[in-house]
């Protein structure tokens, strides 16, 4: 009679699976599996073995998108802002340096205790002499990274990696009004690609640069040009490493991105910063109104801002090598620009490149 009664709840009330939990668990597990597959592909590539292209199906893409990468990226961003105790900074940053092969001898400040949080460490500045800007070639690399693909744009399709493409119009969005651009009306053309080419005899070119987590995270102006317009696409924040780019068609069109368009001496020029997992924050130094990875966004939407109508019709002049923006972790830069037919890239697919080195010239 002195024993206490043990009241138990029905199993269904104690352990109740919700659809959201199932999606997160399944999507997270599948994302981990894909990471392992990417690692195996990288090992095959290092051994010189060509890997056949195998694209994800619609259900695989939907499953990957079920992972709350936007929420995780915002949480990661807040964690990065937490100030670390002085005694903890060196062990934490040293682990990161060892994992991703960061060269701290290039940093303007090599003392790890100087960086109060992970965000400051990711956005560390370099010594002025660490990245000399090539003065001979007309277009330089805007960032450190790996060349995923480059060449002429054909049939309104751009290659994100060899054999995997995305739509030029889906990526850049609808044609910007010529009233917002410096250059004159483009010659009449049927395709979106023809509408971007403003001078007869020119071609449209592209270059994709992937920034790994250990790379320098700032990006710079790749040439002398004037930025006339900014278009921000809210979207997913899937990984953009080469393995995923090879797996998901139009990956860059799914992800959040900031498209800067304008003109250079040969016509149309654009630079697009593509967001990725844990890289929800894309910052453009001269654009204080830009806020990426907002909690509320509408799928398929975008917002425009004109630097001509809001900047006394002058746009934002940028000099080659000038600081342009930054990521909070590695991501991707895509250049799409117009140039004469004799423009030549000085690149090889898969090569490592550093900010300031030549991409191509006439």
Which of 66, 141, 144, 206 is flagged as catalytic?
Answer: 144
Q: How far apart are CA 36 and CA 7, in angstroms?
A: 45
- Find the catalytic residue in 138, 141, 270, 331: 331
Max CA distance (Å), the chain:
98
Return the structure tokens found at 20: 């959201």
Q: Is 331 a catalytic residue?
A: yes
Angle made by CA atoms 240, 163, 271, in degrees to the nearest 5: 50
* 325 touches 285 (CB < 8 A): yes
- DSSP assignment string, 88-153: HHHHHHHHHHHHHT--GGGBS---GGG--SHHHHHTPPBPGGGSPPPSSSSEE-SSSEEEEEEEE-
Alpha carbons 326 and 280: distance in angstroms, whole number: 11
- Indicate which residue of 206, 217, 220, 266 is catalytic: 220
Element at 326 (helix H, strand E):
strand 323-327
Q: Could you identify the residue written with the tokens 């967001």?
A: 275
What are the C-alpha distances in Å from 217 to residues 119, 139, 266, 325?
A: 11, 19, 28, 9
Written in H, E and C, the secondary structure of 160-219 is EECCEEEEHHHHHCCCCCHHHCCCCCCCCCCCHHHHHCCCCCEEEEEEEEECCCCCCCEE
Catalytic residues, which ones?
144, 220, 331
């Amino acid at each position: 009679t002195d024993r206490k009664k043990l009241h138990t709840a029905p199993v269904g009330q104690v352990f109740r699976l919700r659809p959201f939990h199932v999606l997160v668990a399944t999507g997270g597990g599948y994302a981990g599996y894909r990471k392992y597959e990417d690692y195996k592909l990288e090992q095959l590539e290092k051994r010189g073995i060509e890997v056949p292209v195998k694209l994800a199906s619609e259900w695989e893409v939907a499953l990957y998108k079920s992972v709350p990468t936007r929420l995780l990226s915002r949480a990661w961003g807040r964690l990065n802002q937490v100030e670390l105790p002085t005694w903890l900074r060196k062990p934490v940053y040293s682990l990161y340096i060892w994992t991703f092969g960061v060269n701290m001898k290039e940093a303007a400040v090599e003392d790890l205790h100087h960086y109060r949080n992970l965000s400051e460490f990711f956005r560390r500045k370099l010594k002025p002499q660490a990245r000399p800007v090539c003065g001979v070639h007309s277009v330089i690399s805007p960032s450190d990274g790996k060349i995923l693909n480059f060449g002429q744009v054909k049939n309104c399709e751009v290659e994100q990696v060899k054999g995997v493409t995305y739509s030029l119009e889906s990526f850049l969005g609808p044609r910007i009004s010529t009233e917002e651009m410096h250059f004159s009306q483009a010659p009449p053309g049927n395709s979106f690609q023809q509408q971007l080419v403003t001078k007869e005899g020119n071609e449209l070119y592209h270059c994709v640069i992937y920034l790994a987590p250990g790379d320098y995270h700032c990006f710079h102006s790749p040439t002398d040009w004037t930025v006339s317009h900014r278009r921000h696409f809210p979207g997913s924040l899937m990984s953009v490493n080469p393995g995923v780019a090879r797996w998901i068609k139009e990956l860059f069109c799914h992800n959040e991105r900031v498209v800067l368009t304008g003109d250079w001496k040969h016509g149309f020029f654009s630079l697009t910063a593509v967001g990725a997992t844990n890289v929800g924050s894309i910052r453009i130094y001269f654009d204080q109104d830009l806020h990426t990875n907002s909690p509320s966004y509408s799928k398929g939407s975008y917002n425009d801002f004109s630097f001509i109508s809001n900047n006394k019709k002058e746009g934002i002049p940028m000099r080659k090598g000038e600081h342009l923006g930054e990521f909070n972790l590695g991501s991707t830069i895509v250049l799409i620009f117009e140039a004469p037919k004799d423009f030549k890239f000085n690149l090889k697919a898969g090569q490592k490149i550093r900010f300031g080195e030549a991409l191509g010239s006439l």
